Amino acid sequence: MSPKGRPEGEYRSAKHEGSPATPKGRPEGELAPKRAARRVVECVAAPVESPRQSTLPARANVAELLDSVLTLHAGRVQTLQVEVTRDFRGDLELFCFAGELRQLFANLIGNALDAMSPGGGRLAIRARQVRDGIRVSVGDTGTGITPEARRHIFEPFFTTKEATGTGLGLWVSEQIIRKHNGTVRLHSRPAQTPPDAARPCGTVFSVFFPYAGLEEQSAEQETQPEASESRV
């Protein structure tokens, strides 16, 4: 079990908290590199929006977002000879930031394809309504993630891809999930040497989006009285 009784491999996104104050007595120069790194992360975390795309949340079709990402990766899927299984219906709607969810799905599916390169494998995309929200799962038969890497997988600048990875993809993904008040579970079995057919390797990311996630936030903002500026 992980801290606070959470199942191992489950990560619960929390609401944003304010940045800590500068510790007293610490030279300003010691904090400069950390602040610079934070600014880089914030810039990368901001999703790239098309000029026509609204910056406000709206109802979006989750199946269409997944299909658009799979179309984006169609070339890699064909090159790697990956078998894709789609298990979702077209009536899954969620009040969300559609561009950010598309970026999240692109990160998860892109990582799954990386894990299956160059030998190929199976990619399974599943989305369905569960109780009070929608759960989206991305699974692959790639090399898997070690227990040590799983402990740091959502930290900025942590990567297992060496020269080709930035270490920001999953951190950005976690920020998007957090923004939608969602949760993510990670289950993985790393590859063994020699391979064991009875214990296949692979990884599954399972993300839950509550229907009330952004809707509650919007309702709270609408009911708050407008702040008036006053000077003493």
pLDDT number for residue 183? 97
The string of pLDDT tens digits covering residues 202-223 is 999 999 999 998 876 665 555 5
Bigger pLDDT: 192 vs 231? 192
What is the Cα–Cα distance from 69 to 135, expressed in whole angstroms? 17
40-54, 57-71, 83-97 — which is least confidently predicted? 40-54
**pLDDT range class, residue 228, cuts 50, 70, 90:** very low
Give yes or no for residue 105 having a pLDDT over 60.
yes
- Confidence category of residue 194, pLDDT binned at 50, 70, 90: confident
pLDDT value, residue 222 = 54
| Domain 53-222 is found in CATH 3.40.50.1360 | no
Higher pLDDT, 184 or 191: 184
- Region for residue 5 given its phi and psi (left: phi exceeds 0; alpha: psi -120 to 50; beta: otherwise): left
Across the range 104-125, mean pLDDT stands at: 96
* More confident: 215 or 201: 201
What is the pLDDT, as a whole number, of residue 109? 98
91 vs 167, more confident: 91
DSSP notation for the chain: --GGGPPTTEEE-----PPPPPPTT--HHHHHHHHHHHHHHHHHHSPP--TTS-SS-EEEEHHHHHHHHHHHTHHHHHHHTEEEEEE--TT-EEEE-HHHHHHHHHHHHHHHHHHTTTT-EEEEEEEEEETTEEEEEEEE-SS---HHHHTTTTSTT--SSGGG--S-HHHHHHHHHHHTT-EEEEEEE---SS--TTS--EEEEEEEEETHHHHHHHHHHHHSPPP-----
> Residue 187 has what pLDDT?
96
What was the pLDDT predicted at 142? 95
Comparing 23-32, 71-80, 144-153, which segment has the lowest mean pLDDT? 23-32
Q: How confident is the model at residue 192, as a pLDDT?
A: 83
Of 22-31, 84-93, 178-187, 190-199, the one with minimum mean pLDDT is 22-31
